[in-house]
Amino acid sequence: MAAQSLHLNHRLPAGVEFAPGLHERTEPPGRFIVLADPAAITGPTQARWQARWGEQCLGWVAQTHRVSSLDAAHALAEMIWPVLDHSNHTAVWAIGGGTTLDLGKLLRWRMPQLAQGRTAWRNNEVPAGTVRHSLWCSPTTSGTGSEVTPWATVWDLNGRPARKRSWYPPSGYPDRALVDPDLTLACPDEVLRDCALDALSHALESLWNKQACERSRPLAIDAARMILQALPRLLQEPGQALWREQLSAASLLAGMAMAQTQTALAHALSYELTLSENIPHGQACAIWLPMTMELACLRSEQVRRDLQAVFDEPADRALASLRGWLTGLGVRPRDLRDSPAGKFLLSDALNSDRGRNFVAQEA
């Protein structure tokens, strides 16, 4: 599917706009405060946009935190909530990768007291008197999917052990998702690759998922096919707009599928790799895709048919194709079934919140 033929007619609470150069002509519908990753939005771009938006832009907060942690959310709330306090109709506009968008999802809920944030985010609670502000999300990577999903990842790094939590309040979807492939131009090759691997994981995990349905599966199949084609080509030809647009479109479709299914086993296994080995999230998920794909194929005929549609070959040969594709991108797949310790970790992950979504959860 070419990016220009992307159909956004699926029912989503978030209003989705997709176009190259979108942010150079977008007219905001009201007042807002920006939370933006300065690595993605340069100083000259910021100055140009703020000059065009004028008094509608009430502030610009740089988001420099590596992960969407409780500490990061608390520090940013100290800057953003006083601005939101002047009007319940002020929006939060999050512009960045998954970390920035997830933090935007936390901060759009303005609580009566700043100190309530840590407890509420940790326990997925919305205190009485909390105001829900409109949230606009502009991804600067092709991979997060957060712009069309209702939950946010929250890392609790102060506990022992550190824990990944989910913030999933009622009405958690962003109100607007503005997807502009041109915003990904600032991505270094490694970031581009790892974010696209995350999007591929969203797509494939939506297929081997207990929540997969007739609405989610076509989105996931299209997204996976587009990523498998576009990512190697874009890394070879970073200036080629077609592949960049296709990758952004695929990430969006994968996010739409994930919004209906959530993720599964590969994501459940990824978090420990990120914490213990500092492996970027997308790569940490991709490491486990061949193993989880094989487990899913052993259990589900539907998954085998869906994967044949993705790879244009039978599922057994598709497994070798996926391994070769990942290896060609510098990713070494792992398999936990080779040792007793690995089998224990696999069993533990299968019984986690994400693992229970996996079609072969009883394996």
Q: Of 131, 133, 132, 135, nearest to 176 (Cα)? A: 135
Long-range CB pairs of 343-349 (<8 Å, 24+ gap) are 345/269, 345/272, 346/269, 349/265, 349/268, 349/269
| The model's pTM | 0.93
What does the pLDDT look like over 308-320, one tens digit per residue? 999 999 998 999 9
What does the pLDDT look like over 211-220, one tens digit per residue? 999 999 999 9
* pLDDT reported for residue 239: 87
Tokens 């690995």 found at: 342
DSSP 145: -
pLDDT band at 362 (very low <50, low <70, confident <90, very high): low
User: What Rg do the C-alpha atoms of the chain give, in angstroms?
Assistant: 20
The residues near 363 (Cβ < 8 Å, ≥ 6 apart) are 295, 298, 299, 350
CA-CA distances (angstroms) from residue 55 to 30, 52, 59, 63?
10, 9, 9, 21
Q: Do domains 3-181 and 188-357 have the same CATH topology?
A: no
Rounded distance between C-alpha atoms, residue 190 and residue 196, angstroms:
10
List the end-to-end C-alpha distance of the chain, in Å, as a whole number.
Answer: 34
pLDDT band at 162 (very low <50, low <70, confident <90, very high): confident
Are 3 and 184 in contact by the 8 Å Cβ rule? The answer is no
Lowest mean pLDDT among 101-115, 129-143, 161-175, 230-244: 161-175
* pLDDT reported for residue 255: 96
List the domain boundaries for the chain: 3-181, 188-357
Indicate the average pLDDT of the chain. 93
Q: What is the mean pLDDT of residues 71-86?
A: 97
* pLDDT reported for residue 5: 44
The residues near 300 (Cβ < 8 Å, ≥ 6 apart) are 208, 359, 360
The superfamily in CATH containing domain 188-357 is: Dehydroquinate synthase-like - alpha domain (1.20.1090.10)
Beta bridge partners of 156: 163
Residue 341 has pLDDT above 80, yes or no: yes
Rounded distance between C-alpha atoms, residue 28 and residue 331, angstroms:
40
* pLDDT reported for residue 12: 67
User: Going by CATH, does the domain composed of 3-181 fall within 3.40.50.1970?
Assistant: yes
